[in-house]
Structure 1
Amino acid sequence: MASVPSIHQPPGFRVVLMARRSTVIALACFVLIVLACFLLPALDLTAIGKMSVRNRLTPPGAEYFLGADAFGRDVLGRLLVAGQTSLQIGLVVAILSSLAGIVIGLAAGFFRRLDTPLSRLIDAMMAFPDILLALSLVAIFGGTVGNVILALSIVYTPRVARIVRASTLVVRELPYVEAARALGSSTLTIMVTHVLRNILSPILVQATFIFAYAMLAEAGLTFLGVGVDPSTPTWGAMVNEGRQYIDNAFFLILFPGIAIALSVLSLQLVGDGLRDALDPKLNKET
């Protein structure tokens, strides 16, 4: 009796995502950063905000694990609190720009009359360098956390809109969308149920990258002195404050710089892993 050949099952999302060691390490690193920033300050282990002029610019050691700043404040404690603001800005920008990009991209890709004007608007916004456009918007709105989030959301919305538009142009012509139209489904139902649900993968990947871009852009803006108000601790603000002491207290720039680099690199690697896991072609090649 002939044996029945086994059917090869493609690896699942979790298997592909965790198959890359770099993705696993990056995800674990980012989770540890988030947990440290949001849990350790609540334990008040480092006397966050406590000043000691006598100990100003103390190098890393037993008393101050990462050193003390120009006001004698513990760098580790400020690093963790500043990380909360930086991470929150990155997350909110990723969410807002994704939502706005979905609305604009769906409208441009689904309604032919809106395609040309919205596409030209997207192209015009993407013609400006991100940091230059962000600088201009923050200068107009003002340097608060909310305004920085708004400015960066405007800057990164075209990235999502472009991807959503391109995906919508393909999906709207597929047979199941035509069948939904023939059955009398409303335009909104088709856009949300039959189009948006099938293009969420590239949106999720792009949102991960925007999370990283927004954190880096916020740090750059704050370092240039036009970002978040100096009274609000962020990693970019710590780098900006520490640059004047770089000759005799380089650690004031070193540790926030490492935090920014680790967070951004981790998110980029996680985004690459998500792209490989969610893209059927890359999944098949893997």
Structure 2
Amino acid sequence: MAAISVPPQAEPNVLSRLMTRPTAAVGVAVLVVIVLAAILAPAIAPYAPTKLSIASRLHPPSLDHLFGTDDLGRDVFTRMLYAARTSLSVGFAVVIFSSIIGIVLGLTSGFFKKLDAPVSRLIDAMMAFPDILLAIALVAALGATAINVVIALGIVYAPRLARVVRASTLVIRELPYVEAARALGVPTPVILVRHVLRNVTSPLLVQGTFIFANAILAEAGLSFLGVGISPDIPTWGTMIATGRQYMDQAGWIMMFPGAAIVLTVLSLQLVGDGLRDLLDPRLAKDI
């Protein structure tokens, strides 16, 4: 009797496993809606984000203006959609920029013993300053533009990633397969990329989601204080700063951008927690 062969089942990918967790699934769903709304802003927005209508200033939410209008008669719903594009773009760019700096510093510090002390002291010095104060100082020195905000926040959050990469690299560099690669004469850059960097991807991915959320909060804070992106560009922070003057008579100007920040940051945190539970071997067994 011929044996019946059963094809091996493919292991579910990270996204499929992530969606099995209710809190992470909610975070992914909310984040997808926000990202799609930002991408499709030109098609969804009923007005131009800079269109003024003094006759319609401070109108409450209605069918014509779903989220009301601000002090210059601009549609709050439209400006929120375009502000989402700015905030998400800045947050994503900060993650990329800080990851590049953090990976370079972390690999250098963790793999090369002679460079560990000076690079670690540099990382400690960067982390000694409060995040928002260092960001304000850097933006003030560089200038209030979107690119400079990304650079400033990237420098602020890079030490966090550098510490994660360094801690993982210190362990990986002592493993047998790394020692074997060294003995075989494999070039150091190849070892760093093929054997070390590939094994620190999981903690980097988790940390990246938290930095994404923190970057959105920091950008909103800088814009609220007037030292972030130019006021001509819609951002959630500048909308809240504008609505602060009319909080008693037009609270919707602050309420809706504030709710957008809370939902975006909360969804990113839920996704980050889910990824941490999935990718951490010590926690994966409980899923």
Q: Normalised by the size of structure 1, how large is the TM-score? A: 0.94
**Change beyond 3 A, Cα 1:179–1:278:** same
Q: Is the 8 A contact 1:10 1:284 kept in 2?
A: no
Q: Distance in 1 between matches of 2:244 and 2:164?
A: 39
Aligned to 2:178: 177
Aligned to 1:203: 204
Counterpart of 1:254, as a letter, is M
1:116-139 CA distance string (max 9 Å, x none): 011011111111111111111111
Aligned to 2:7: none
Structure 1 stretch 156-165 or stretch 133-142: which is displaced more? 133-142
1:125-180 CA distance string (max 9 Å, x none): 11111111111111111111111111000000000000000000000000110111
Q: Distance in 2 between matches of 1:187 and 1:64?
A: 60
Q: Distance in 2 between matches of 1:282 and 1:12?
A: 17
1:5-24 CA distance string (max 9 Å, x none): xxxx9986345422210100
Aligned to 1:186: 187
| Structure 1 segment 81-100 matched on structure 2, within 5 A | 81-100=82-101
Q: Distance in 2 between matches of 1:40 and 1:222?
A: 21
Note if 1:229 corresponds to 2:230: yes
Determine helix, strand or coil for the equivalent of 2:40.
helix
Residue 42 of structure 1: how far off its partner (Å): 2.9
Q: Distance in 2 between matches of 1:260 and 1:268?
A: 12
Q: Percent identity?
A: 60
Counterpart of 1:229, as a letter, is S
Counterpart of 1:207, as a letter, is G
**Change beyond 3 A, Cα 1:221–1:44:** closer
Note if 1:68 corresponds to 2:69: yes
Counterpart of 2:49, as a letter, is I
Q: Distance in 2 between matches of 1:139 and 1:49?
A: 26
Q: Distance in 2 between matches of 1:81 and 1:199?
A: 35
1:38-63 CA distance string (max 9 Å, x none): 10323453343322111100000111
Aligned to 1:266: 267
| Structure 1 segment 240-279 matched on structure 2, within 5 A | 240-279=241-280
| Structure 1 segment 55-134 matched on structure 2, within 5 A | 55-134=56-135
Q: Which sections of structure 1, spanning at least 5 residues, go unmatched?
A: 1-8
Counterpart of 1:52, as a letter, is S
Q: Is the 8 A contact 1:98 1:160 kept in 2?
A: yes
Q: Is the 8 A contact 2:97 2:154 kept in 1?
A: yes
Counterpart of 1:156, as a letter, is Y
Note if 1:147 corresponds to 2:148: yes
